Structure 1
């Protein structure tokens, strides 16, 4: 179906231009207006620098605040579509609740009515084209500046200029069009007219994907006398239904929460439209009464349409808020949360990478999901039960008692629970790199990718350990079992400490513990060879077992280093004053490693970090 959309649209435009040259001016006005909206949205994305997103996270702690945010943000951005996309993005990233997201959508429907007031009260009564030209000229100068803030202001200013220019051309086009053909001859009275024009308004908004553009088109046609007041009311109702198309399209790449929000948007707008059509007569009387009360002329139908647009949207919110809990329950029943599949990404989808902050936060959550899978696989690969390790007060004793082999295909688990997630993370960060992110966010995104890499390397190292862990630890075999139990204990202890680090408050996390752990790992790695030599001399260790252990200790200490480095990069905040103090106090690499010994000597003959690079 979509492949026929473009040729059909072009054919319709060409026929319209051939039928009436004045239609060109109307079409150009719509195109300029939509282009202005795109520039305005790009400007706020660039200028906001994450401000809008941070405010959104704070503004959804209660339903009234969420509704208020929807009103204010849509009034400022003049785009309920942008607010809907932002909301779906944050909801998909798990940063706001479904109730908060629905509240924002309710508020956005009220906020979008301010556009009709601006056009009816200003755009149709003032020569706004005279303001548009200097705004566009100044905006181009700003757009070519290096400062992100100035470029954001330039895009926003240019967007407003093109909005004004688009309104001007639509108005001029309809003024010229009425001399050529009178569209009011095709007006339909009664309920049939309401239904037909509501459908026309819906279709027009779906095509333009902007109820704001549709309302401007309706207002300019109404001001030029090309459509009747009753039909304009029906068109405005239909535009409200059609605006849900943006949320529906945005939810296609979202998770189940994003799809729930899109369905809520559709239910709300269709219900509001149905109520408005059913109560069209009393609503029209209310418009007349309010218009008279505020001094709007009886024949100023453009302003009265703005009043109507506001009334029926406020009415819709008033009717839906009391049943919000039931709506949420219906959405949760209708779109069921899928059973968690640890082998698939939980947070990475196309909806979250619309905005830099949601992209970064979703990636952080997915890296944590990867670590959760990896920690389980690492401990199970060492024949340790994760629940027992995290519950015990004596890790070494628990390790010594863990002799029963766990039925585990570590290669299959790695393929399905580690490699698939890591591949998704790499693909996601690559896609993010194409979006020209702000440098600070781009740096953190690539740092998270490196954290994922460290986690995967740790798992690969334990895969190498698995064979001899089964060989030497499922039954007591003297010194060799004690040596392997020591490796298992150290890896398990680091896993426990990393969990404590994750559960601590951000301000309580310290890099000093990580440095102490790294020192302990390097000291153990250096002393491993001496310990093995002593055991061989005493006859407590065979040369074959000693060779296996020295190789495996290299893998084990590599896994420990990777886990510690991953914890440092993920949990320790580098942009705080405390982090800077810790950086100055922490030990540098020269203090951590013995500068007189190469890595192979320190770690035994096994591979050092970065050398476990098989891709299978």
Structure 2
């Protein structure tokens, strides 16, 4: 029989493209429907590793990608919302959740793919509601997934008559490690285990591959999917690299264990296929689901060991900042309000030190354009927002306790200081965004502009640091230095702005660079104002013009 190679390749590649688009569209639609609840699920329902597994399953079903869940998890570990141990539970759950796509494929509703696509498209284009459009996107993706599978199946059908392919499947049956390597490499190329498992299901449905050869490829697909996380973690934080490595180790251990019993496991899956009269696609889905569930069940008790192992392999701090407060104990509010007040102050000082660190990272980003500094600054800003809410809530609860006049004044100072520190974060976040705009639009400063802005940056960083020191030690001398430096920052802002106008008039710089330059000056000046607000609380002489 002569094979039309062009048709085979076109149908397969086109079908694969539509299949991948379908998975992405369905995942994006479900994600939009769920909204911020995905992060909430991971944040709130990972109090222990078991809850982490459940959260990982739910979020991966909604995202339709285990890699997406891993990326979200890494972000939460990075931010200090989740421990490494909790993240391992989520990654295990993600492996179980990703099997749902294989079960969906096993339903075999390809003949309804086009009507499903039509329903999704109609909802996207003709319904005004955003929610309806999101549902339409998920339905469209669902239809595209099956339509792509149908095309791939048609493309792969002639392979069962190709002698070379038949010999390869025989080799994989007798040498399971070859099958694992083939599955791993194929998933690395396609960058989606759902796609490669879908292809495997199509091959088996067309009779091009037997169960004994398909299973090792399936296990290789599970290893291959971890490569995406590894690639994403290159040059990333310690937490990102640890999470990616955990995913790899977890799947490799599972594959090694199942290869040791590949014969009995193949017979077991064959028995299930026979008893439940499963089609080829659903047989692979069951094999995939049982493998990932068993792998999680076996390795779950050793989560602590996995965490220890990856920590030893990749040493270092998990994250730049810890989002959770470390000093706020509710028990002190009722039992000892004065201790609670002191604890609040410790937390405010910690928050202030983060603001100083965030500003330093922003300055580094301005000068070397390394994204790790931008990410660190934005992490700090997120931490400041979280700490602002937590500390303010704690202080509001404390306000109902019996405080002396002196303690009440101190309480008021802390509430105002928290808001000022949080606003500093907003301003250096603005600066990070301005620098990103500068980089993406290839805007450059003149040598003098760079010198001026660095001079103002250095003074602002010092002023923030001293303002927090003054608050910490109730030191009037340091507070007065801050007042003096803030006046200097104001003068710098006016002077450098005028110098910029002269450069602009002389044609030495562009209008775009001028806008970025002036906006950075303005944000630095506002950070100086907030430093002044903090020390004037210490000095006890708040002036009307100091309030911003």
Do both proteins adopt the same fold according to a TM-score greater than 0.5, normalized to the shorter chain?
A: yes
1:3-402 counterparts in 2 under 5 A?
Answer: 19-123=5-109, 126-141=110-125, 148-175=130-157, 178=160, 183-189=165-171, 192-293=174-275, 295-296=276-277, 300-338=279-317, 344=361, 363-365=381-383
CA shift at 1:150, angstroms?
4.2
CA shift at 1:330, angstroms?
1.1
Q: Is the 8 A contact 1:455 1:566 kept in 2?
A: no
CA shift at 1:47, angstroms?
3.6
**Matched residue of 1:122: which SS?**
coil
TM-superposition CA deviations, 1:249-307 (whole Å, max 9, x none): 222253111111100000001111111211111212222343444x225xx44332222
Distance 1:136 1:168, change over 3 A: farther
C-alpha distance in 1 between matches for 2:529 and 2:274? 76
CA shift at 1:114, angstroms?
1.9
Q: Is the 8 A contact 2:78 2:237 kept in 1?
A: yes
Distance 1:60 1:148, change over 3 A: same
Distance 1:434 1:167, change over 3 A: farther
Distance 1:365 1:35, change over 3 A: same
TM-superposition CA deviations, 1:80-133 (whole Å, max 9, x none): 12111211222222221111111011011111122222212334xx51323333
Q: 1:563 aligns with which of 507, 513, 531?
A: 531
CA shift at 1:313, angstroms?
1.3
Q: Is the 8 A contact 1:197 1:234 kept in 2?
A: yes
Query: In structure 1, what is the equivalent of residue 330 of structure 2?
Result: none
- Indicate the larger mover: 99-108 or 180-189: 180-189
Q: How many residues align?
A: 404
Distance 1:154 1:359, change over 3 A: farther
Q: Is the 8 A contact 2:22 2:144 kept in 1?
A: yes
CA shift at 1:27, angstroms?
1.1
CA shift at 1:149, angstroms?
3.5
Q: Is the 8 A contact 1:92 1:352 kept in 2?
A: no
C-alpha distance in 2 between matches for 1:162 and 1:275? 36
Distance 1:25 1:563, change over 3 A: same
CA shift at 1:317, angstroms?
1.0
Q: Is the 8 A contact 2:233 2:240 kept in 1?
A: yes
CA shift at 1:231, angstroms?
1.3
C-alpha distance in 1 between matches for 2:18 and 2:37? 28
Q: Is the 8 A contact 2:9 2:155 kept in 1?
A: yes
Q: Alignment RMSD, CA only?
A: 4.8
Larger radius of gyration: 1
Distance 1:193 1:261, change over 3 A: same
Distance 1:168 1:259, change over 3 A: same
TM-superposition CA deviations, 1:167-220 (whole Å, max 9, x none): 121122223555677832432247653122211111111111110001100000
Distance 1:182 1:335, change over 3 A: closer
1:427 pairs with 2:458: no
**Matched residue of 1:305: which SS?**
helix
C-alpha distance in 1 between matches for 2:161 and 2:270? 30
TM-superposition CA deviations, 1:61-93 (whole Å, max 9, x none): 111111011122222332212111211222222
The answer to which structure has the higher helix fraction is 2
**Matched residue of 2:108: which SS?**
helix
C-alpha distance in 1 between matches for 2:142 and 2:534? 46
TM-superposition CA deviations, 1:131-182 (whole Å, max 9, x none): 333134225416x95x654443343233222212211211222235556778
Distance 1:563 1:232, change over 3 A: same
- Indicate the larger mover: 91-100 or 422-431: 422-431
C-alpha distance in 1 between matches for 2:374 and 2:527? 31
